[in-house]
A and B are shown apart, each in its own frame.
Chain A
Amino acid sequence: MEYLQGSYRVQTIRPGSMCDFTIHCPDIAAVSKAGQFVHVRVPGFTLRRPISICEVDKAAGTIRILFDIRGEGTKVLANTKEGELVDVMGPLGNGFTLLDSDKTAVVVGGGIGVPPMLQTAKSYGKNATAILGFRSADKIVLTDDFEAQQNRVMLCTDDGSAGHHGVVTDLLKQRFDEGKPDIVYACGPKVMLKFVAKLCAEYGVRCQVSLEERMACGVGACLGCATPIRRDDGSVTYLHVCKDGPVFDAERVVFDD
C-alpha cells in the first residue's frame, strides 16, 4: 500500500455551513481517487480524523475536504486558518469503482456523506444524477458544484425547508422509475445506506456504499475500524473500513448488527 504523510498548507477555506478546506498537497493529489479519504492530525488529540476527499485537482495539486464540527477534535481543526499547515496522511482506503463516462450513475449523499460524491459524479457529467439529502435548507452544501459539473441534482430535506420533503430513497425510487442507471454510489448515515441498498437490490441495480467507523491507525494496522461483511459463502467476517473499505459492495454489507 502507498500513502504519504506530512505537513501541507491549507490554501483556501470557503465559507458555508461545513468547514471547507482546499489543501495544497501535490503528491497526495496525484494519486487520490474518488471515495478515498485522508487522515488528519488534530494537535492535542490521540486519534486522527478520517475525512473523505471531496474533490481532487491534480493540475493544481490540491484536494478539497469538507467536515462538520462534531466534537472537540473537529472544533480544533475548524480553527485552522488559510495558509496554516495541517498534518495529513493519504490517500487512504479504496475508492469507488468508476465505470466508463458514457454509463449512467446515481450518487446518493446524506449530510456529511455528500462531499465524497462530488468527485465520484464528476467524470459522468450529464450522465450522473446527484440525490442529495440534508437536515434542513441551512445545512445544504455543494449543490452548485454538482450543477457546475453538469450533474442533475435532486434535493431533499428532512424538514421540507428545501427540495423534496422526505428522504433520499423517495427520490431514488423516482429516478429508477425513469430508467435504471448502471450503478449507484452512496455515502451517509448507515440507516440511509441500508435503505438505498435495499432499493437497489429490488431494482437489480449495482450499488457501492462508503462506510464510517471509529478509526485509529487508518492504514489497516490496528484493526480498530471493524465492520461486519458477508463472505462469498454467506458467513460474516470483520473487515476494516480504513483498508478494505471505506467503499464496499452494498450486497456484502451487514446493516443489522
Chain B
Amino acid sequence: MTNLKVNIAGVEFKNPVITASGCFGFGREYECVYPLERLGGISLKGMTFKERLGNPPPRIAETPSGMLNSVGLQNPGVEHFLEHDMPYLAQKDTVKIANIAGSCVEDYCAIAERLSESQIDMFELNISCPNVKQGGVAFGTSCENAAHIVKEVRKYAKKPMIVKLSPNVTDIASIAQAVEAEGADAVSLINTLLGMRIDINTRRPILKNNVGGLSGPAVFPVAVRMVWQVANRVKIPVIGMGGIEKWQDAIEMMMAGANAIQIGAAMFYNPKAPIGVIDGMQQWMEQNGVEDINEIVGAVRPW
C-alpha cells in the first residue's frame, strides 16, 4: 500500500497535489468535473480585505508553451468570501489554503486576523503578485521587505503560514531564508515570471496592463531550479509550482526538493490535470517500489 500523504507545517494533505491560487477560483467551477475531495488541497483565489475590481482587459495573452495574465487580484473581499464561499468549502474534505494579498502590511494583518477565526486551514501569503501597482511583489523582492511583512502578519495569523515567493529576484533562496527566520512555516514557489507580448500590427502590448505574469510549461525548468535552490537553503517545507502539467513533472519537482506541488495553468487546457497527476504518481510509486511519496522529496542526486 503506497502512502501519498504529506504533512506541511502540521497540516496533513491526503496527497501532495494542490490547485494553485488564481487558477481554481474558490473551487466551485471544477466540482462538476471531479469531486474536490480528491485534491490534497486548494489554494484559493488571492483575497484582499476589501473587494478589488482588478485590471482592465485584455488580461490574457498566449505565449509559446504558456500564457501571460494580468488579472490584478480581482476578488470580492474577505467578508464576501466568508459569507458566500466559506460555508460551501467547509463541507469539502480537502485542505483549504487562503491566499492573502494587500497593498499595505496592515491589509495583510487584517485579513490574517479575520480568517484566523474561520475554517481555513492555512494561509499563503502572496508577496509575489506582479500585477498590482501597490503591494504584491513589492513585498517579495527584497529580504528586508519580505522579512518585515512576515514578522508583522505572524502576530495575527493563528494558522500555519506559507509564504509565496516571486521568481523576479536575483536570489530567491535568500528571500526564503529571510521569511523562514521571521516565522514562515513553509514557502511556495514560483509565482509567475514577468513578461510582455506586443501586437506588431497595432504596436500595442496585448495586455492592457502592458506586462503580466508568465505561467505554463514554459516556466517549468525555471521553477525546478528555484525549488532546488530554496530547498537546499531552508529547513521549512517547500511547495513547488510552475508549469506542472503531468505526473512526471510533479515527481521531478518533488525530487528537486518540494514536499508538495501546485498545479495552475495546466488546468486551463486540461481541467482534470490534478487528477491525472495524483493517479499517475500512485501508479509510478507502485511500479517503482516507492512506498512513501515523502521518500522522493529532495531525492535528486546532483552531479
Q: Which residues of B contact A219 (CB under 8 A)?
A: 29-30, 271
Least distance between B129 CB and chain A CB atoms (Å): 13
- Asked whether B23 is an interface residue with its Cβ less than 8 Å from the other chain, the reply is yes
Q: Which residues of B contact A237 (CB under 8 A)?
A: 53
Q: Could you tell me the distance between the alpha carbons of A217 and B265 in the complex, rounded to whole angstroms?
A: 9
Q: Could you tell me the distance between the alpha carbons of A51 and B16 in the complex, rounded to whole angstroms?
A: 35
Q: Contact check, B60 vs A47: say whether CB atoms are below 8 A apart.
A: yes
Q: Which of B32, B57, B74 contacts A1 (CB 8 A)?
A: B32
Q: Contact check, A224 vs B30: say whether CB atoms are below 8 A apart.
A: no
Q: Could you tell me the distance between the alpha carbons of A48 and B58 in the complex, rounded to whole angstroms?
A: 16
Task: Using known A-B contacts A41-B269, A47-B67, A222-B23, determine if residue A238 contacts B28 with beta carbons closer than 8 Å.
Answer: no
The closest CB in chain A to the CB of B218 belongs to A46
Q: Contact check, A224 vs B269: say whether CB atoms are below 8 A apart.
A: no
Q: Could you tell me the distance between the alpha carbons of A243 and B29 in the complex, rounded to whole angstroms?
A: 9
Task: Using known A-B contacts A5-B271, A41-B269, A223-B74, determine if residue A46 contacts B67 with beta carbons closer than 8 Å.
Answer: yes
Q: Which of B24, B55, B59, B62 contacts A221 (CB 8 A)?
A: B24
What interface size band does chain B fall in? 35 or more
Q: Contact check, A221 vs B23: say whether CB atoms are below 8 A apart.
A: yes
Q: Could you tell me the distance between the alpha carbons of A26 and B32 in the complex, rounded to whole angstroms?
A: 17
- Asked whether B297 is an interface residue with its Cβ less than 8 Å from the other chain, the reply is no
Q: Which of B53, B59, B270 contacts A225 (CB 8 A)?
A: B59
Least distance between B257 CB and chain A CB atoms (Å): 26
Q: Contact check, A224 vs B28: say whether CB atoms are below 8 A apart.
A: no
Least distance between B205 CB and chain A CB atoms (Å): 12
Q: Contact check, B30 vs A221: say whether CB atoms are below 8 A apart.
A: yes
Per DSSP, chain A at the interface is loop
Q: Could you tell me the distance between the alpha carbons of A227 and B268 in the complex, rounded to whole angstroms?
A: 19
Q: Contact check, A89 vs B271: say whether CB atoms are below 8 A apart.
A: yes
Interface residues of B in 246-293 (CB under 8 A from A): 265, 267-272
Q: Which of A89, A224, A238 contacts B60 (CB 8 A)?
A: A224
Q: Which residues of B contact A73 (CB under 8 A)?
A: 62
Least distance between A31 CB and chain B CB atoms (Å): 11
Name B residues whose Cβ lies closer than 8 Å to a Cβ of A.
Answer: 22-25, 28-30, 32-33, 45, 53-63, 65-67, 69, 71, 74, 206, 216-217, 265, 267-272
- In the complex, 15 of the A-B residue pairs with CB atoms within 8 angstroms, ordered by the A residue number, are A41-B270, A46-B269, A48-B268, A213-B57, A214-B57, A214-B60, A214-B206, A216-B265, A217-B267, A220-B29, A221-B23, A221-B29, A221-B267, A223-B54, A224-B59
The 9 closest A-B pairs by CB, nearest first: A221-B25, A224-B60, A221-B29, A214-B60, A219-B29, A214-B58, A216-B268, A46-B216, A226-B57
